[in-house]
């Protein structure tokens, strides 16, 4: 009888431990799942979503092949609470197109011909609503990429306040903003541009925008 009682107690204890172990395993698996979800959601708020017609009267327009100018443009949009527009070439640029050491590459050939106008496949939905425009681009052979010329010649900037920001692997802003200002026309209110690094913060950009009167 004593032996049967001991066996019954042992079975009961085994059942209790098994149940507790199963319950702990379930709650343990829920927590990592929730943490993973939170981590994956974080990057979405780290940078502003590209948008048009977001209610702002300021637009940051950028062209970027390597991502450096894109980062700068996103920080500029944060500083200005601006809408963001990415220029998309009808024929995307490949890494071989940007080989600076090859005189026959697409970008090299385009930059040598001031009359080249690469086609753009997208457009700003309502340019008339914007009062201020910031153009962001990389420096290619001392100038803005020719596709920036295409963009500027595609719209009427009469009465709009404009400026340029650029990234570069070594060249300065040079006359790139002056060339774009000429294409924008005398009726545009052009503010002298400036070169920045891709990692320039929104706070730093905001200070500069205030200096030139683009941000109150």
Say which residue, 106 or 36, is predicted with more confidence. Answer: 106
Q: What is the mean pLDDT of residues 136-158?
A: 97
Please write the tens of the pLDDT for every residue from 110-137. Answer: 999 999 999 999 999 999 999 999 999 9
pLDDT > 90: percent of the chain = 69
| pLDDT tens, residue by residue, 43-58 | 333 334 456 555 789 9
How far apart are alpha carbons 86 and 50 in whole angstroms? 8
CB 111 within 8 Å of CB 103: no
Q: 120 has which bridge partners?
A: 89
- What contacts 54, CB < 8 A, 6 or more positions away? 83
Look at residue 14 and tell me whether its pLDDT is greater than 80: no
Q: Residue 21: its pLDDT value, please? A: 39
Q: Which residue has the tokens 């109150």?
A: 216
Mean pLDDT in residue range 188-215: 96
CB 91 within 8 A of CB 146: no
- CA 43 remoteness from chain centre: 13
As given in the structure block, the two tokens for residue 86 are: 């990415």
Strands, E assignment, the chain: 58-62, 83-86, 132-138, 161-167, 189-190, 194-195
pTM of the model: 0.76
Mean pLDDT of the chain: 81
- Element housing 135 (H / E): strand 132-138
């Amino acid at each position: 009888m004593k032996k049967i009682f001991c066996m019954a107690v042992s079975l009961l204890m085994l059942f209790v431990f098994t149940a507790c172990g199963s319950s702990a395993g379930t709650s343990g698996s829920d927590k990592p799942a929730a943490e993973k979800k939170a981590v994956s959601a974080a990057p979405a708020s780290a940078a502003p979503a590209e948008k048009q017609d977001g209610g702002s009267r300021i637009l940051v327009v950028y062209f970027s092949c390597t991502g450096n100018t894109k980062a700068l443009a996103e920080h500029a949009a944060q500083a200005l609470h601006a809408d963001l527009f990415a220029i998309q070439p009808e024929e995307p640029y490949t890494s071989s197109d940007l080989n600076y050491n090859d005189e026959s590459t697409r970008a090299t050939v385009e930059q040598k011909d001031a009359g080249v106008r690469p086609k753009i496949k997208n457009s700003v939905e309502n340019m008339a609503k914007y009062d201020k425009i910031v153009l962001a681009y990389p420096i290619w052979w001392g100038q803005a990429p020719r596709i920036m010329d295409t963009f500027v010649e595609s719209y009427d900037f009469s009465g709009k306040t404009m400026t340029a920001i650029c990234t570069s692997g070594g060249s300065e802003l040079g006359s790139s903003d002056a060339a774009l200002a000429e294409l924008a026309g005398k009726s545009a209110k052009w503010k002298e541009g400036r070169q920045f690094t891709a990692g320039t913060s929104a706070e730093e950009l905001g200070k500069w925008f205030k200096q030139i009167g683009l941000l109150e």
